[in-house]
Amino acid sequence: MTEEHVWNLLADVTLVVHATYVLFVVAGQLLILTGWAFDWRCTRHLLFRLIHLICIGFVMLEAWLNVTCPLTALENSFRIKSGLMTYERSFLSHWIERLIFYNAPEWIFTMIYMVFAGFVVLTWLVYPPKRNTE
């Protein structure tokens, strides 16, 4: 395996980790709402809910500070070392653009993050987690 292949593999692994993070944030919220509708105790688990809140909070903080996501920066670094193209925009805007061919200014994605984060906080308040979910 050449050095370029190793860097490319590391970039792809970082991409999978990043996609998993995004999936956790989005699917986690859907799971929480479903659990609320069906009275599942597991979706009130404090640690799960806290990790979920921290994850979307981190995304929100990045957007407010106009900071490139560390996973995007890491993947780009690996791609440069492998001789491949890097992202010109954020991870999410890049893949949304590629998936649905939608091109929007970065502030649109910041608004989406803010609305989603607000929804997560609202859900936390009206369907709060519990310490003991026995």
CA distance 89 to 42: 36
State residue 11's pLDDT score.
Answer: 87
- 131 phi and psi, to 5 degrees? -65, -45
Half-sphere exposure of 83 (CA within 13 A, CB side): 5
DSSP 3-state of 86: coil
pLDDT by residue (tens digit) across 16-69? 899 899 999 999 999 999 999 999 999 999 999 999 999 999 999 999 999 999
